[in-house]
Structure 1
């Protein structure tokens, strides 16, 4: 039987309304729902366009009548950036047909009661759950073709991986295996709890890291238990420190 956690959603919501009280009422209703991860408010259509493009919310509650840029203008100006799930909220019923033609999931007519709101939110959750990407299970073995044979490598045995054009060089102890896949493709299949990028062309098994060494030029090197030294890019430095701290804290 599936646990409650397996069905939990993490929905990011944007509320767009020029009336502060209307935004506040929606926010209060949403904050009582455990599936709502965050709620952002915008008081104008122009601000909403910027915020949608910036944070890519899962669900937008959008007022129809706003000065300068109304709800329909927002969707038109967004074009391909229009969110998948939009619920119009308005005090006027005359726009209902146009709202659905614009791709709205629902049309909340002010004033609405809690029951009507929760029915609308439930519909949004169903749609988001239906189209949510299925979580991928990390691979445990990698097949590598070499001459006339195929080797099956245990992912847990990998020390580090480096990019070589459209290939990936997998290092296990003193052995190097060439895989015809890009580093980016391979990264998608690895367990992110066990592997991390330290450079745009290097992924390392976190369990193989013995420490980090600061060099004279201010750069760090990742030192493996095998004594192999790998360059740590500034771009990934903070994240690696955090990941290694998490690992040490869990042991």
Structure 2
């Protein structure tokens, strides 16, 4: 791609914008040309038509991300390529995956982010102009305004796992799992006295677990926050967690935003 895609970052959390900026540093085809801290700022920036791509937070205190796009569409303003970013997969994320270039769930996973950038690059190469896709237009028409109905509540989170062994199968309650660790073929459920293998990939398991109790701190590790005994800052901006079963797990800097959001509960 000869000319870098001018990219706008929109999120009311400075740490979230910082992480997207850091991840984009590995992709010279996308250059960060602007940042906005709320929907009103984003609306003004996008009205200039100066951006090719926007990483757009869904939940913001004034205008949410979809409402920003609705107003641009109503004004006949061409839209850039849209990547929705959200911490709440219950807010129609499945629809976002169909109607935007892509969506990203917080905390951002570097591998998933790279996949998203690939889709943006492909769409940019194929796009002949700033036309709004019919699917995204349908989403903007259907999205409720500030006084609209509340989003559909999420499905129940997984509260137990099935562990299959040659001679038997049994349940492990999610509350008994201290942390989950990715393996080549699935994941390990670490409990007080054992590590149980399951065949489901860690990423799929993480999406099914209640974020009020489980926190992804590394691409390969999800911890049960109810079983944290202590934690401390570690090397290179990481954190070291000691779990109640005596085992230690280390975070990745890519998940610092999620960890900071978790720690804010106790500030």
TM, length-normalised to structure 1:
0.55
**Aligned-residue offset at 1:218:** 6.5
Structure 1 residue aligned with 2:247: 228
**Aligned-residue offset at 1:230:** 0.9
Q: Which has the higher contact order (CA 8 A, sep 6+)?
A: 2
1:243 to 1:77, Cα distance in 2 relative to 1, 3 A: same
**Aligned-residue offset at 1:169:** 0.3
State yes or no: 1:169 paired with 2:188. yes
**Aligned-residue offset at 1:231:** 1.3
1:153 to 1:239, Cα distance in 2 relative to 1, 3 A: same
Counterpart CA distance in 1 for 2:234 and 2:51 is 46
**Aligned-residue offset at 1:82:** 3.7
State yes or no: 1:61 paired with 2:41. no
Contact 1:58–1:83, Cα closer than 8 Å, also in 2 = no
| Aligned partner of 2:220 among 201, 205, 212 | 201
Matched residue count: 171
Structure 2 residue aligned with 1:147: 166
Structure 2 residue aligned with 1:42: 44
Counterpart CA distance in 1 for 2:238 and 2:158 is 33
CA RMSD after TM alignment: 3.7
Structure 2 unaligned blocks of 5 or more = 1-37, 59-64, 81-128
Q: After superposition, what is the alpha-carbon deviation per residue over 1:186-212, rounded to whole angstroms, capped at 9, x for unaligned?
A: 001100010101111001110111112
**Aligned-residue offset at 1:181:** 0.4
1:224 to 1:231, Cα distance in 2 relative to 1, 3 A: same
Structure 1 unaligned blocks of 5 or more = 1-36, 66-70, 87-104, 106-122
Counterpart CA distance in 2 for 1:64 and 1:219 is 45
Counterpart CA distance in 1 for 2:172 and 2:51 is 49
**Aligned-residue offset at 1:220:** 3.2
- Partner-residue secondary structure (3-state), 2:240: strand
Counterpart CA distance in 1 for 2:73 and 2:223 is 48
| Aligned partner of 2:209 among 190, 205, 210 | 190
Counterpart CA distance in 2 for 1:63 and 1:153 is 49
Which stretch has the larger CA shift, 138-147 or 187-196? 138-147
Contact 1:42–1:48, Cα closer than 8 Å, also in 2 = no
1:242 to 1:79, Cα distance in 2 relative to 1, 3 A: closer
- Partner-residue secondary structure (3-state), 1:138: coil
- Partner-residue secondary structure (3-state), 1:137: coil
1 or 2, which has the higher strand percentage?
A: 1
1:42 to 1:157, Cα distance in 2 relative to 1, 3 A: same
Counterpart CA distance in 2 for 1:159 and 1:238 is 21
Counterpart CA distance in 1 for 2:256 and 2:72 is 40
| Aligned partner of 1:181 among 185, 191, 200 | 200
**Aligned-residue offset at 1:219:** 4.6
Contact 2:66–2:143, Cα closer than 8 Å, also in 1 = no
Question: Which of the pair has more CA radius of gyration?
Answer: 1
Contact 1:163–1:201, Cα closer than 8 Å, also in 2 = yes
